[in-house]
Amino acid sequence: MFTFLRLIRIMFVSFRYGLDELVISGIRHPWTERLLVVMRLGRKLHAPRGERLRLALETLGPIFVKFGQVLSTRRDLIPADIADELARLQDRVPPFPSEVAIASIRKELGRHPDELFASFEREPVASASIAQVHFAVLKDGRDVAVKVLRPNMAPVIDKDLRLLRAAATLIEKISADGRRLKPREVVAEFDKYLHDELDLLREAANCSQLRRNFAPGGPRGDLLIVPEVMWDYCSSSIFTMERMRGIPVNHAARLVEAGVDLKKLARDGVEICFTQMFADGFFHADMHPGNIYVSDDPRTLGRYIALDFGIVGSLSEFDKNYLAQNFLAFFRRDYRQVARLHIESGWVPPGTREEELEGAIRACCEPYFDRPLAEISLGQVLLRLFQTSRRFNVEIQPQLVLLQKTLLNVEGLGRELDPSLDLWKTAKPYLERWMNERVGWAALRNNLRRESQQWAQMLPELPRLVHHQLARPDRSADTLAELQRLRAAQQQTNRLMAVIAGVLAVGVAVALWAVAR
């Protein structure tokens, strides 16, 4: 019953904001325009399509808002005007009652918050579509933030996801553009992200890993502050971490007033981003202003503070090597190599002409290289590349889409802090140094050093293995004899089949002769 009523509600909202028109307009058929004229009767749809889609998702509730947020990152799949509008979606969700949060903590951690903590603030400080946050103080005096998952989220999410899958299947069947946009794959990706965010232990583990990569007191500790996870106060529905204090990164006036050097802050943000991506292969993939603060504590003034670790990206060794070769080819303007890398990776359909892909990539990138460096947007270059790749049905990997989204966020934040920020100039030395470590003699030396421990275990066994192999009896004569027997049997079978075919042919000929008489 709930599913039916929810479906009616979705259909009503879709009709109200003209989403039906948006879908039908993508169908290329002679009667489409006539149908659209009929459907517009009695409705005034003057707002742009992206705005109407955003308003519809906000009306349908937090799950659809979250879907729109994820969809806005897939600029390789959706038009730019829709992606820009969906990027404006924010979680405007009222908090759930504090009594419910307390009951959830008691159920998950086994004790009432008043027993677990020295103090627990009933009023939440933040509320989103998945969870809300309460401040508390541990018995040892440390300030913490307690993130509590919204109750009964999984059943509601699963029901809405079933409807989204059905809608995606329908769109693929009736619209050519719909098939190109791969709505079922988008919904599957959203399903993965959403269920990852529903497991707060996974988020706590992401936080712990990122904190280890930027360990306080380590070589990177002066770049990024990551809260400590309080594992004794965590479960799949509760995430307790060190309380962070700072200024939102997009509040430039407050940062200047606190004495933060905005130009240095912008450069540090680029270094943090590329360090996570290319040194660690593990990066915070949701770096919008709400999740990034800047410390105003005199002891750590100007350091970034990371929050909300529900969405992270990972790059395999293959991804890193692919990116290294691509960046190297881009810096050299070797577009044929870029096209060749795409084809060799298997991301381009078989039969794609290398020279056509090369020409498209050159047309995409060359205008940027002819501009002053300060006017070049690395994020926009990647965006244009993904849009060009769509023409060739390139299968963009999800981890690279997250990387592109993160670069766009970092570049946007950086240029808000310092409008003259040159991401290419800031990132290029780092990338060149990193590529030298990945490609060439330095990379070979590092790989040999890394593999030496494994070789040290294998080398002592090598004489024994060689002796065992040499001591094995020679079976080559038996193998050859067996192969000859198999060949003789195959030839005999072939002769038998030829005889049977001859008999059948004679039989058919006799039958035809009898019929002809």
Catalytic residues: 286
Joined tokens for residue 143: 């300030």
Q: Which residues contact 28 (CB under 8 A, 6 or more apart)?
A: 176
Dist. CA 376–CA 380, nearest whole Å: 8
**Beta bridge partners of residue 143, listed in sequence order:** 137
Dist. CA 8–CA 11, nearest whole Å: 5
In three-state secondary structure terms, 328 is helix
Dist. CA 397–CA 384, nearest whole Å: 16
Nearest alpha carbon to residue 25 among 61, 7, 52: 52
Are 291 and 197 spatial neighbours (Cβ–Cβ below 8 Å)? no
Q: How many CB atoms lie within 10 A of CB 221?
A: 15
Are 164 and 194 spatial neighbours (Cβ–Cβ below 8 Å)? no
Q: Which helix (H) or strand (E) holds 445?
A: helix 441-458
Q: How many CB atoms lie within 10 A of CB 125?
A: 12
Dist. CA 351–CA 419, nearest whole Å: 44
Nearest alpha carbon to residue 279 among 118, 427, 141: 427
Nearest alpha carbon to residue 137 among 149, 124, 120: 120
| Amino acid making up residue 290 | G
In three-state secondary structure terms, 248 is strand
Are 271 and 223 spatial neighbours (Cβ–Cβ below 8 Å)? yes
